[in-house]
Amino acid sequence: MKRKLIRIDDSRGVALPPDILDLLGLNPGGEVEILVVGSTMIMAASDADPAELEAALAYLKSKREREALYRRLTDA
């Protein structure tokens, strides 16, 4: 899902659709965990299942590998 950054006072934020927030069980004032590695940010409910986080990381890795493969194929 792609979202645009919005201005919130002197900061920036991302508005998430209510259905996503409901799916994660997040309400105003709820806490999230944010992990930043390089240019990748993962935001998860603070009580997220570690297995789900591992699945998300595996998805990102496979996506990057596919993109690199497509680039090599188009450059060939």
What's the pTM value of the predicted model, to 2 decimals? 0.60
pLDDT in tens, 46-67: 888 889 888 888 888 888 888 8
Provide the b/e sequence for 38-60 (b: ≥16 CB within 10 Å): eeeeeebbeeeeeeeeeeeeeee
User: Region 35-53: what's the mean pLDDT?
Assistant: 85
| pLDDT tens digit sequence for 13-29 | 999 999 999 988 888 88
Domains for the chain: give ranges and CATH numbers. 5-75 (2.10.260)
**Residue count (the chain):** 76
In the DSSP assignment, the letter for residue 31 is: -
**Token duo for residue 56:** 């998300």
